[in-house]
Amino acid sequence: MAMYSSVSDYLHRGFLRWRRRRTNRIIRNLPLEIQKDIGWPDSNREQRRKLYQPESF
């Protein structure tokens, strides 16, 4: 049963990766105006990354 679970998890992760790539590809092919309307690409991504990184002393 453990092997079935491992294989199932592996296949499920692969499916999720495929679906994420497909979604990204579809969104990137939309006109830029629509991408901006839905917030793609996220212009605040770099700012959030800086907020959540710990300060190095």
Which one, of 49, 26, 56, 54, lies nearest residue 38 by Cα? 26
Q: For the segment 24-54, what is each residue's pLDDT rounded down to a tens digit?
A: 999 999 999 999 899 887 656 666 666 666 6
* Predicted TM-score of the model (pTM): 0.59
**Sign of the four-CA dihedral 34, 38, 44, 46:** negative
| Pairwise CA distance, residues 44 & 12, whole Å | 30
pLDDT score, position 2: 81
Where residue 30 falls (left for φ over 0; alpha for ψ -120 to 50; beta otherwise) is: beta
